[in-house]
Chains A and B, each alone.
Chain A
């Protein structure tokens, strides 16, 4: 599955409940709002909106937009 950055940004915003600006390189280190609560909100939103599900390993490893894009591409 391929998904545009704009679509991802919309999902991130809804999950974080905050109008963040998403870059193709954004990660936990660059996004202050990406804490563990928002991380789980993000998983919940991604699964709901895209109809995908994540394994435990994926949930743990997902810490940046490039990784997310790669994970989604494989689904």
Chain B
């Protein structure tokens, strides 16, 4: 991977600092006084490049018209790239902490015009904001800038600033390569409110705008906003369930009892509880963030559950600000499907109850009243399809993350992307499946077949494949081969292969997974 600085300040000190923590990173720097022509004429296009585009507005003071054109140029530049483009943002005219405004690296709070333009940029799935405005706020402008150096050498930063920018970039790079978190598991006493509900009683706990409860109140608001972004909230608390339910029902707090999708409130050890939460939600342990005030619980669970992310929260306001800035809470994109995620899991729980009642799988599937809608090469599906290629692990024949742009290019070169939408009597699953076929003179190839885990276990994958296969057959393009790359996690896809080889006479080709972000 090559990390490019494209900047209107000299970035060498930042690059050196970044190399200290990431010695294997290959870094290129391009300094341009005016970034607009530089970006317009940018020629190099290595596939594994990550760009950091940095125009320091506190230092450069470019006019508003330039800024608008700059953002448009960045947008056009990012649209030409397959890899991530990080854009530094410093034009924050609001002093509202991110945590209060539901800020998550994909939204900003600043002047309306600039904001609209920036949000247009952020509609690109490979463009991310590196919020330097926040670093300036944290450090203080007087401690951040060294204007004398800036005016002489175009390098206007102090050492703390250099360190902060490099640290932010390092975290951002790590985040781009790490798996996204999906579930936030919370302890209750002294984590979601001050006090112990079992001892202090429902009226004795604090989560309000008074001094004792205010951090908890803001923390709950922060968590409430995460639901909107697609996180699932769960409880894992050593308590009597009735006490905790009473606390949520009788006290007016930002979070409601119903906001939690799985609740493990009992006296068993948290390690077992976290495991069963992951199982119930059908996610890996590394999708969980566990937050507790008790260091013993955090240490014990993270020792026993490798991959678990634990965060310590004690109700201190500094901790709160630090925690809410954590990259673990940032989503790469927030789509319609994410906003409905809690709702989707809730209807899934209704379905499971129906399965328990009907008992028999066939009768259950009939009772669901499943409806499927298959689209072909639909431009409006591409963003969600790109997200699915990056996030689906279990039922994924050949895991490769594709950008929206790459998917567009495939369609332009004759590929067929079949997308699947599913609904049943309990609700809408959203867009949950993708079959990609690559054109060939003969022996058409299925490049990939993937299904979101929420649609599995209802024989939908069989119907989807049958339908796509027969559509292709009618067009004289019946596929003969499918690529399959076994991974540690795609056992469900592996199980399905027999059906494809037996019923459709498909032969499998081994794929390989190229390194990509």
Contact = CB atoms under 8 A, between A and B. Distances in A.
Interface in A11-61: 17, 36-37, 39-41, 43-45, 47-48, 53-56, 59-60
Given A55-B148, A56-B148, A56-B152, A40 B13 contact: yes
A53 B12 contact: no
Nearest to A55: B148
Interface residues of B, number: 16
Contacts of A39: 153
A59 B152 contact: yes
A36 to B, nearest CB: 7
Chain B facing A: main interface SS: helix
A47 B159 contact: yes
Contact of A48 (B12, B16, B158): B158
Contacts of B149: 40, 43-44, 59
Interface residues of A, number: 17
A37 B158 CA distance: 14
A40 B10 contact: yes
Nearest to A43: B149
Contacts of A17: 16
B165 to A, nearest CB: 12
Contact of A44 (B13, B151, B152): B13
A53 B162 CA distance: 16
B12 A37 contact: yes
Contacts of A53: 146, 148
Contacts of B162: 44
Contacts of A54: 148
B87 interface: no
A53 B159 CA distance: 12
25 contacts: A36-B153, A37-B10, A37-B12, A40-B10, A40-B12, A40-B13, A40-B149, A40-B153, A41-B13, A41-B16, A43-B146, A43-B149, A44-B155, A44-B157, A44-B158, A44-B162, A48-B158, A48-B160, A53-B146, A53-B148, A55-B148, A56-B151, A56-B152, A59-B148, A60-B152
